[in-house]
Structure 1
Amino acid sequence: MNAETWLAAADLPHFRRALLRWYRKHGRDLPWRESSSAYHVWVSEVMLQQTTVATVERRFHEFLSRFPDIDSLACASEADVLHAWQGLGYYRRARFLHQAAKRILEEHDGVMPSDPKTIRALPGLGRYTANAIASFAFGARVPILEANTLRVWSRICAMRGDPTKPPVSNDLWHVAEEALPRKEPGDFNQALMDLGATICTPREASCDRCPVSTHCRAHEEGLVERFPELPEKRAQENVDHVSVVIWHHRKVLISKRPETGPWANLWEFPRVERTDAENWTDAAWRAIRTYCAGQATLGAERKAIRHGIMHYRVHLKCFDVLLNEGTRLPDESTRWVEPEALTKLPFSSPQRRLVASVQESPSFQGTLLDESRKR
């Protein structure tokens, strides 16, 4: 079925009334809905990209207490913004948030524009986020299409094909726009999102509790589980990484990531990817020699961490190293810091677990005193 076929047969007034009536009774009580502030809406929508609602609920007010408005966010350093974003992942979002705040301050006198096209011109804001801000903060009659509403509309229209790509995605944007009521479009959009989050969920649709099941073609055909027809996810690859905690005069060496790529501009302990030709200690020595010159002692394994990033499952082993004689190689991206200062800098989530270990045991750990461990 396509969007036009469903729209031609749908009783839209009844559909809208039923959905909004359900929302007023069962809509989620979320902290960012306490205010219609465009800034609050914007921050929450960016946080909710690739991060669970439960996590954002815990972190939303914490972020706002540090950056209560666009001006404070724009005037902060990128390092401060990244530090406040720790634990939310996908740090590119925080950098775009910061860049967009600067643009709003420079070009819009620190006030979020209300026009969706103008909002969309800001760094990191796509069609969905721009429309969400315009709809929820300014009452604009514009559609939204994200994971929850995409699934809801795919099932309602029994839309065959990949809904994340044209032409199917274009059809879904069209039906989402045509279905909007003239009044309360923001509540209507929120209702669709809540319906997808609580009733029309990915694994199991509770059609018996759905306020618009009589309008749903997938439910009518008994094919709810079939939709949306998403492409198969790419299988994750296993990779091994090694980090070294290099100690010298009661300080540890840390390195700043490049401005592009994963974990851009975040700090980490020197890290390398282990090759098939290396064992774990070989990789650790390569990490040491990449960052330091002089005699060093490789200690015992401090911590093993497993985590995922993009299409990779990472097994990270962390070793302590004592730099007996020598120094770090000249590199502006590295510095020596005292363990207690580590929490003031932004680290990725897996590296923060290593930071916690260093702060719990702030000294060189577990030396195996055989000559093979000294080079």
Structure 2
Amino acid sequence: MADRPGAPGTEEEAVNRTRAAILAWFDRHGRHDLPWQHPATPYRVWVSEVMLQQTQVATVVPYFHRFMRRFPSPRALADAPQEEVLALWAGLGYYARARNLHRAAQHIRDQYGGELPADLDALEALPGIGRSTAGAIHSLGQGRRAVILDGNVKRVLARWHAVDGWPGRTAVARRLWALAEHYTPAHRCADYNQAMMDLGATVCTRRTPRCHECPLQARCAGHASGRPEAWPTPKPKRRRPLRQTRMLILQHGDRVLLQRRPPSGVWGGLWSLPEAAVDADPKSAAAALGLKVDQAGHWPPLRHAFSHFELDIHPIHLRVSGAGQAVKESDTLWQSIHDTGARAVAAPVARLLERLREYTP
């Protein structure tokens, strides 16, 4: 894994020169003012790393500030009801992250006295914390040497060494982990790891990388090829199946009926609108809840993309009357249309409720 074929000196000297170039770039151009860096406690690093999975920094920052104000410590997060955690997460998507964060905080409270463990294996054993996230907590938050391999670092390493194959494949991931291990230093490990993430986020970007600004330009096989965007190999495309559902917007005066979804699965634990098959009779669905439909109107469909399928939502707005005697379970309630943000709802449900507010005096 020499720094560059034909480079003078030993491989160790070449690696040290490369590390020095990366750290010098970081000192001048790296990101030093991200909110989770001040202070960079293990807890703040952990929350930020989880939020940043599949999500851009600009989107995460306001969520991170709100989350820290409400849950300033693992114990505060562990003691909170899951519904409140999900409510502060609403809009970030991938809600299993929030559920795992909450579960892990409870483990930290019950098993480690409210402090994240200092052992790397113990970190990785917590719910929702994989190898790279554990490495980020260990290095960025606890000041110890640990290797990370998030999406940005994968892209830098794959281009730097022209590593063919989709990083999601075991053999390719093993090669990238070996490269990350090879270059990660003991000295200034936190700065080095942050530098590699920053390079991927700001210079070695997915499209139109700015190779002329990169400290690895002279060493990079991807740049030498003239087509750096060829790496990493993209995930093989598979057509996502399309599913259909009917969402019932049951309005009674200035209230709307919400139901809590099961704790696991799509939008697990979130509040949503009652659903029915697209070809089901909405009046019968309302009648099953003890409600009479006085007026009905179909709204334009919404399409929502998940990682493994796409969902077409066909909303129907139903003005209803009646006592709703079946609406007694703890997972079903009437909520004021104007009570925004009271409960965690999925993004498409939030859009439908916002539209309902616009058309309701």
Aligned to 2:351: 353
Residues of 2 paired with 1:261 and 1:204: CA distance? 37
Identify the match of residue 161 of structure 1 among 160, 165, 184. 165
Residue 16 (str. 1) matches residue 50 (str. 2): no
Please tell me the residue identity of whatever aligns with 2:104. A
Q: How many residues align?
A: 353
Change (3 A) 1:300 1:105: same
Identify the match of residue 224 of structure 1 among 223, 228, 246. 228
Residues of 1 paired with 2:240 and 2:285: CA distance? 25
Residues of 1 paired with 2:24 and 2:69: CA distance? 34
TM-score, normalising length from structure 1?
Answer: 0.87
Within 5 A, what are the aligned runs for 1:1-375?
A: 4=1, 11-28=14-31, 29-248=33-252, 250-274=254-278, 278=279, 282=280, 284-285=282-283, 287-288=285-286, 291-293=288-290, 295-302=292-299, 304-325=301-322, 327=324, 329=326, 332=329, 333-341=331-339, 343-362=341-360
Residues of 1 paired with 2:81 and 2:71: CA distance? 11
Other structure's SS at 2:122 match: helix
Q: Percent identity?
A: 36
Residues of 2 paired with 1:156 and 1:202: CA distance? 14
Flag structure 2 segments of 5+ consecutive residues without an equivalent. Answer: none
2:248–2:276 CA contact under 8 A, matched in 1: no
**Offset, 1:123:** 1.0
Q: Which moved more, 1:302-311 or 1:154-163?
A: 302-311
**Offset, 1:353:** 1.4
Flag structure 1 segments of 5+ consecutive residues without an equivalent. Answer: 364-375
**Offset, 1:7:** 8.3
1:161–1:168 CA contact under 8 A, matched in 2: yes
Other structure's SS at 1:167 match: helix
**Offset, 1:331:** 6.6
Please tell me the residue identity of whatever aligns with 1:292. L
Q: Which moved more, 1:188-197 or 1:302-311?
A: 302-311
Residues of 1 paired with 2:316 and 2:86: CA distance? 26
Change (3 A) 1:73 1:26: same
Residues of 1 paired with 2:283 and 2:3: CA distance? 63
CA RMSD of aligned residues (A): 2.3
Residues of 2 paired with 1:162 and 1:145: CA distance? 14
**Offset, 1:249:** 5.6
**Offset, 1:238:** 3.7
Change (3 A) 1:311 1:297: farther
**Offset, 1:308:** 1.9
Other structure's SS at 1:12 match: helix
